[in-house]
Amino acid sequence: MPISLTEIIMLMFFSFLLGWVFYNLPPLLVGIRQIRKRKNTSGESNEKVKLDSLPFFSLIVPMKDEAKVARRILDALMKINYPFERYEIIVVDDSSTDDTSKICKQFESAYPSRMRYFRRNVSCGKPSVLNYGLKFAKREIIGVFDADNVPEPDVLIKTVKYFKTRDVVAVQGLLSSINAEENMLTKIIHYEGLIQHYALLSGKDELGLFVPLEGTCQFVRREALEEVGGWLDGALSEDMELSARLTEKGYSIKFASDVRSWQENPTSFGQLFGNV
Assign residue 135 the CATH number of its domain: 3.90.550.10
Higher pLDDT, residue 273 or 196 = 196
* Cα separation, 223 vs 74, whole angstroms: 26
In this structure, is residue 10 part of a structural domain?
Answer: no
Question: Tens of pLDDT along 213-257?
Answer: 999 999 999 999 999 999 999 888 999 999 999 999 999 999 999
145 is a domain residue: yes
Measured CA to CA, the distance from residue 79 to residue 82 in angstroms comes to: 9
Amino acid at 122: V
Of residues 238 and 190, the one with the higher pLDDT is 238
- In tens, the pLDDT along 21-37 reads 555 656 656 656 655 66
Contacts of 249 (CB under 8 A, 6+ apart): 224, 227, 228
Q: Establish if 28 belongs to a structural domain.
A: no
Q: Does residue 179 sit within a domain?
A: yes
Q: Is residue 40 in a domain?
A: no
Count of structural domains within the chain: 1
Name the residue range of residue 233's domain.
53-274
**Report field, pTM of the whole predicted structure over 0.85:** no
Strand duo 141-144 + 149-151: pairing = unpaired
Does residue 35 form part of some domain?
Answer: no
Give just the sign of the alpha carbon dihedral 76, 82, 85, 88.
negative
Considering the domain boundaries, does residue 159 fall inside one?
yes
d(CA 194, CA 188): 10
Q: Is 212 helix (H, G, I), strand (E, B) or coil?
A: coil
Q: Is 25 contained in some domain?
A: no
